[in-house]
Amino acid sequence: MSLGPVHASIAAYYTERVRRFGATPLGVDWHSAPSQMLRFVQLLKGIDFTQPVSLHDVGCGYGALLDHLADRHPDAVLHYVGSDLSPEMIRRARRRWRARPDTRFDVAPAPCPDVDWSVASGVFNVNVDQPEAAWEEFVAATLSDMAAHSAFGFAVNFLDPAPGSGSPQFQPLYRVPAERWAAHCERAFGCEVELIRGYGLRESTLLARRRAPPS
């Protein structure tokens, strides 16, 4: 299945958002800065920032994760790569962070960088009028790319199903039991997977770690 139509629809959606709301949480379809920061905390829980680390921010938007990292991990030695399907997002991110060293922004889809960790905040949430099969192919392909190019692991989040529903819901928001994709990551990539919940939002963070090789 070609992901070109999915990528194009996502790019168009977020380009319209950032042109309308600018480099703000609303510009990347988050309701508020506090909820955006809370998600970042969960996504970064597996990373040891006391050691130099390389990080790929998938669906980086205007680079809000860098604000969080500067606040929470100001002494981290970090090589950062952000990628996004919206060229307008990347243009704004490059302008905001042009003076930050060891930082790069790429227009996706592009070859994934080989890094220690990859994270993606909310990239699966808004199904922009795509058929169920196409959207889940996009989810699977994104996870596969992150797993293939992340030496230590990766983290993503999923919206939980609405109360009373245990099935995936596709429009306008993709809500799914995160256990479904946790099992996929264990089976397809051989990862150790942890699901993080209970942080005040109706969602789950999937943290996948590479299994240590046998000694």
Q: What is the CATH number of the domain that holds 23?
A: 3.40.50.150
Residues of the chain with pLDDT under 70: 1, 164-171, 212-215
Provide the mean pLDDT of the chain: 93
Task: Report the 10 Å Cβ neighbour count for 76.
Answer: 17
Q: How far is CA 164 from CA 17, 168, 177, 192, in A?
A: 31, 12, 12, 29
Please report the pLDDT score of residue 215 as a whole number: 43
Using DSSP's 3-state secondary structure scheme, residue 150 falls into strand
Dist. CA 3–CA 1, nearest whole Å? 6
Split into its structural domains, the chain has a count of 1
Q: How far is CA 21 from CA 24, 38, 109, 207, in A?
A: 7, 21, 24, 30
215 within a domain of the structure (yes/no) = no
Dist. CA 174–CA 122, nearest whole Å? 10
201 within a domain of the structure (yes/no) = yes
Range of the domain at 157: 4-210
Q: Residues for the chain: how many in total? A: 215
Q: What does the pLDDT look like over 74-104, one tens digit per residue?
A: 999 999 999 999 999 999 999 999 999 999 9
What is the side-by-side order of every strand in the sheet holding 53-58?
103-107, 78-84, 53-58, 115-120, 150-159, 203-210, 191-196
62 within a domain of the structure (yes/no) = yes
119 within a domain of the structure (yes/no) = yes
